A = this chain, B = another copy of it.
């Protein structure tokens, strides 16, 4: 149990919107940024909320050259009707990703499946948010992207040449289990932020998480120079998939990504990220032969109940922690933030010139 403050959604969104407006983003970008940060905080995502979004903009975004406020996405012509290819021209990630996933859904409505590949993209924060949103609308949704920096060593290697390259899948299981099952993680064993947390707490890392400057595995968080993929060669393969999608789309050398000083010194080079999005309609893949007279949703429920039966009743489903957090947000009528996070929001408000009445916020023990 810890004290949290309840920030009403309109207050949060007005504040986030004002902060992005101050940075030069237009109204629809500010709206997308606010809506997405709301979605993240609503689902209890602490690592990729509004505070992280503003931090990313400062370090890699509008100030650093990775993101261009008011950019227009160029949707390139294609003879292939179910796949679109976009040049985002460094538009804000949340605006690009919302637009891309909406396009995938529209394509899937017509073709059963729809994909959007995006070049020159900027960090979309939390892939899980976009796929959960699409799953709630009835789609089997997927996204992957190249993470900002190459921080991960390929299996058997020494030097970080891969991003933490996440994958996010969600399924429209809300009728079956109450929420979309969402498989969503980075392909490193731990994030660099987690390594820093271990260092602050003076605790050793678990094994197989990281390497030192010589590429040797270490559990000393202070000696960590790069991360290891989860599951040895299997996580390496999953990380490589994001780099390969990006390579086909238009991404350049992983080790140059978001290293703007290095990119600038190499004329013709580029340092942007790539996104890939996909939606499939659940009703497009059924062969209409469910056992025991079940319909599709009842069949999905029966399968999940079987997986969590037989002594497995305590097994969590991926997406369950996010769903629990959403239930808490619903119950308390707003977004839950720790006192430290509220302090940070007060600073954001000051910077954006917005009145921030923290005394008006209710506190709850959650």
Interface on A for B, CB 8 Å cutoff? Answer: 76, 78, 80-83, 85-87, 108, 110-115, 117-120, 140, 153-159, 161-162, 169, 171, 173, 181, 183, 185, 215, 230-231, 233-238, 240-241, 243-256, 266, 268-270, 276, 278, 280-282, 284-293, 296, 299-300, 302-304, 306-312, 314-318
Contact = CB atoms under 8 A, between A and B. Distances in A.
Residue of A215, A289, A292, A304 most packed against chain B (CB within 10 A)? A289
Number of copies of this protein chain within its complex: 2
A293 B252 CA distance: 11
A215 B119 CA distance: 46
B248 A282 contact: yes
Given A112-B81, A287-B86, A183 B253 contact: no
A50 B310 CA distance: 35
A41 to B, nearest CB: 23
Given A117-B284, A118-B287, 10 more contacts: A82-B113, A140-B245, A156-B316, A181-B240, A243-B307, A244-B303, A245-B285, A248-B299, A252-B299, A252-B303
6 contacts: A156-B315, A183-B240, A185-B234, A247-B304, A248-B286, A250-B290
A317 B286 CA distance: 35
**Top 4 A-B pairs ranked by shortest CB distance?**
A80-B112, A83-B112, A231-B231, A119-B287
